């Protein structure tokens, strides 16, 4: 059995911002196909495609109206098949993003539920309930939605009167499925098989600690906790024990396909739960293969914090059958170069140096790694987008307050000196769906490829070494004793990775010239905000 996923490096393609082939200002599947040679050159093992299914795009595709088709904005099934074929020829695996916790309010089953009577089978596919108070005008419980506002919306019944409420843990455009109804599981079986039959290598599972809610839907003692933390912390709405049966079943479906050709189909979950121990329950031998380990992403830039999360991850994953799934960036988070310290417009400063060091650290850790598009260019977060262009539903749902996720979703710069930087062939009237700042010129891929000091070369070199050095990838690590502010560990027989979290140079923990370093690194010295790899027998 080929267990390729255990130390794979997967590149997250946020399709609408990757590359636009039609000139409408929105990236598409043909654009992804055109970008595959670029990704091959970078050296990733696979791609994960953000949702491209038919959707009104209220949450950029995480509101799915049809799970088995392609939205015309992104192409069609024939284009998808061509993308699969092209990726197959290049040896690039393809993961899809599957969204089982909720659908779109435009999904035919939700429309059917709205038209049906309270208590009908059509309504039982979702969480419909009568309101509280004398006239049912208060929501059935006190839960708040993750993106702000109540988690319930009241519907108008067929007779024109206000009636029941339905549950949505995200926006009202995203009604939650009722997984206690067996029809839902059966429908998702069909969806999985539809795409597996088309050759996909697996799925990234959206909100994988969701799906089931407490059967009684009781009030929460802290109803605003999800919205406040923007995390799934309401213990009545997330992480219910029944969800593990679903993952066991999905794993069995994957195993069926694996049995046909010996290549594993991967399930990687977006699992947000309170502890590393809880997290490990999702990746037991017969459940998900992997679950993103977000603690590295949320760790502040400090040796203590990184040491703690890495040690915990290694400890808790042991014995599960999984490997740790490292991630520093994705389409929901402020990009590392900005998170670790505001970069200058030319891309220098502490943030970029730390982001480069973090990348080398991540690529040296045991397990798999996920890279978010633009990370390999060192793209900063775009922090000054004007209000009127913001499209993240969180912004509107918080009364135009929280500018959270648009800044990491700005379309990629590919070439040239001015927007659209080769992202779209479109004319003035079809500009990129989010405006690209002028300074994106510094980060365009053509420039990055031509400059050996670029982020791109660092990622490419790191990936090449991962592909060739037996010490990297799956396995264990051994920490070395170091001075405060510095982390160092050994992989296999003799690959040392060290990171200086401070700002002043320290003596390198091992002699000799590094194999690869995230910045200028004279022999015997590890400068501040720098990581390096050495081969050494320690
Ligand atoms: C996940 C996705 C996010 C989306 C949410 C609702 O957290 O990563 O982008 O908005 O689920 O589907």
Whose alpha carbon is nearest atom 4 of ligand 1? 62
Residue 348: per-residue pLDDT: 72
Whether this model's pTM surpasses 0.75: yes
Cα angle 172, 176, 179 (rounded to 5 degrees) comes to 170
Q: What angle do CA 161, 167, 172 make, to 5 degrees?
A: 80
| Catalytic residue flag (residue 206) | yes
256 noted as active-site residue? yes
The residues, any chain, with a CB within 8 Å of residue 313's CB and separated by 6 or more, are 276, 293, 295, 296, 324
Is residue 170 lining ligand 1, measured as CB closer than 6 Å?
yes
Residue 207 CB–ligand 1 contact under 6 Å? yes
Evaluate: CB of 59 within 6 angstroms of ligand 1.
yes
The stretches of 268-414 forming alpha helices (DSSP H) are: 276-281, 295-298, 303-317, 336-339, 350-364, 393-397
Rounded CA separation 129/55 (Å): 26
Beta bridge partners of 177: 126
C-alpha span between 372 and 431 (Å, rounded):
23
What per-residue confidence (pLDDT) applies to 425? 82
Instruction: Say if ligand 1 is within 6 A of residue 224 CB.
Output: no
Q: How far does residue 53's CA lie from ligand 1's centre (Å)? A: 14
Q: Given ligand 1 and candidates 206, 237, 268, 405, which is best to mutate, with the most ligand atoms within 8 Å of its CB? A: 206
Tens digit of pLDDT per residue, the chain (538 long)? 789 999 999 999 999 999 999 999 999 999 999 999 999 999 999 999 999 999 999 999 999 999 999 999 999 999 999 999 999 999 999 999 999 999 999 999 999 999 999 999 999 999 999 999 989 999 999 999 999 899 999 999 999 999 999 999 999 999 999 999 999 999 999 999 999 999 999 999 999 999 999 999 999 999 999 989 888 899 999 999 999 999 999 999 999 999 999 999 999 999 999 888 899 999 999 999 999 999 999 999 999 999 999 999 999 998 898 999 999 999 999 999 999 997 676 667 899 999 999 999 999 999 999 999 999 999 999 999 999 999 999 998 888 888 889 999 999 999 999 999 999 986 656 699 999 999 999 999 999 999 999 999 999 999 999 999 999 999 999 999 999 999 999 998 899 999 999 999 999 999 999 999 999 999 999 999 999 999 986 5
The CA distance from 520 to 289, in Å, is 38
Ligand 1, atom 2: nearest CA belongs to which residue?
206
Q: From atom 12 of ligand 1, which residue's Cα is the shortest distance away?
A: 62
Give the separation between CA 31 and CA 49, rounded to whole angstroms.
Answer: 12
CA-CA distance, 50 to 434, in Å (whole number)? Answer: 17
pLDDT at 196: 98
**pLDDT score at 93:** 98
* 229 CA → ligand 1 middle, Å: 14
Three-state SS for 176-226 is EECCCCHHHHHHHHHHHHHHHHCCCCEEEECCCCCCCCCCCCCCCCCCCHH
Q: Which atom number of ligand 1 is nearest to the Cα of residue 102?
A: 12
- Domains detected in the chain: 9-91+328-467 (3.20.20.80), 108-167 (3.90.400.10), 476-535 (2.60.40.1180)
Per the residue annotation, which of 28, 206, 316, 406 is the catalytic one?
A: 206
The torsion of the CA quartet 280, 95, 379, 339, rounded to 10 degrees, works out to: -20
């Amino acid at each position: 059995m080929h267990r390729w996923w255990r130390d794979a490096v997967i590149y997250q393609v946020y399709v609408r911002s990757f590359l636009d082939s039609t000139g409408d200002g929105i990236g598409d599947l043909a654009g992804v196909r055109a970008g595959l040679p670029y990704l091959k050159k970078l050296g990733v093992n696979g791609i994960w495609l953000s949702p491209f299914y038919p959707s009104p795009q209220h949450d950029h595709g995480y509101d799915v109206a049809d799970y088995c088709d392609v939205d015309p904005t992104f192409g069609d099934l024939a284009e998808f098949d061509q993308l699969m074929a092209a990726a197959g020829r290049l040896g690039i695996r393809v993961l899809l993003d599957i969204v089982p916790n909720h659908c779109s309010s435009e999904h035919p089953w939700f429309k059917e539920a709205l038209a049906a009577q309270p208590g009908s089978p059509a309504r039982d596919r979702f969480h419909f309930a009568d309101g509280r108070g004398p006239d049912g005008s208060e929501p059935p419980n006190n839960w708040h939605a993750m993106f702000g506002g109540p988690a319930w919306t009241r519907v108008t019944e067929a007779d024109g009167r206000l009636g029941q409420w339905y549950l949505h843990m995200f926006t009202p455009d995203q009604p939650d499925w009722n997984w206690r109804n067996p029809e839902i599981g059966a429908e998702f079986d069909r969806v999985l098989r539809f795409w597996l039959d088309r050759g996909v290598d697996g799925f990234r599972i959206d909100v994988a600690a969701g799906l089931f809610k407490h059967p009684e839907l009781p009030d929460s003692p802290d109803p605003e906790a999800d919205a406040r933390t923007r995390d799934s912390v309401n213990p009545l709405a997330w992480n219910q024990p029944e969800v593990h049966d679903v993952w066991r079943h999905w794993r069995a479906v994957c195993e069926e396909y694996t049995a046909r050709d010996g290549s594993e189909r991967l399930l990687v979950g977006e699992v947000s739960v309170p502890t590393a121990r809880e997290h490990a329950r999702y990746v037991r031998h017969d459940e998900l293969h992997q679950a993103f380990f977000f603690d590295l992403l949320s760790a502040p830039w400090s040796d203590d914090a990184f040491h703690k999360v890495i040690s915990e991850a290694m400890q808790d994953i042991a014995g599960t059958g999984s490997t740790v799934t490292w991630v520093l960036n994705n389409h929901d988070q402020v990009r590392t170069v900005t998170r670790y310290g505001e970069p200058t417009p030319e891309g220098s400063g502490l943030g970029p140096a730390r982001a480069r060091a973090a990348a080398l650290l991540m690529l040296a850790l045991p397990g798999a790694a996920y890279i978010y598009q633009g990370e390999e260019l060192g793209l900063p977060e775009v922090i000054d987008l004007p209000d009127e262009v913001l499209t993240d539903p969180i912004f509107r749902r918080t009364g135009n307050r929280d500018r959270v996720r648009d800044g990491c979703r700005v379309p990629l710069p590919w070439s040239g000196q001015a927007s659209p930087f080769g992202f779209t062939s479109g004319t003035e009237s079809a500009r990129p769906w989010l405006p690209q700042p002028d300074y994106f010129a510094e980060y365009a891929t053509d420039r990055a490829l031509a400059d050996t000091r670029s982020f791109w070369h660092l990622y490419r070199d790191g990936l090449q070494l991962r592909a060739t050095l037996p010490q990297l990838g799956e396995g264990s690590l051994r920490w070395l004793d170091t001075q405060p502010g510095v982390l160092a560990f050994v992989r296999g027989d003799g690959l040392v990775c060290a990171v200086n979290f401070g700002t002043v140079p320290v003596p390198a923990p091992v002699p000799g010239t590094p194999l690869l370093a995230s910045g200028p690194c004279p022999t015997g010295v590890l400068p501040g905000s720098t990581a390096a790899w050495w081969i050494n027998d320690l």
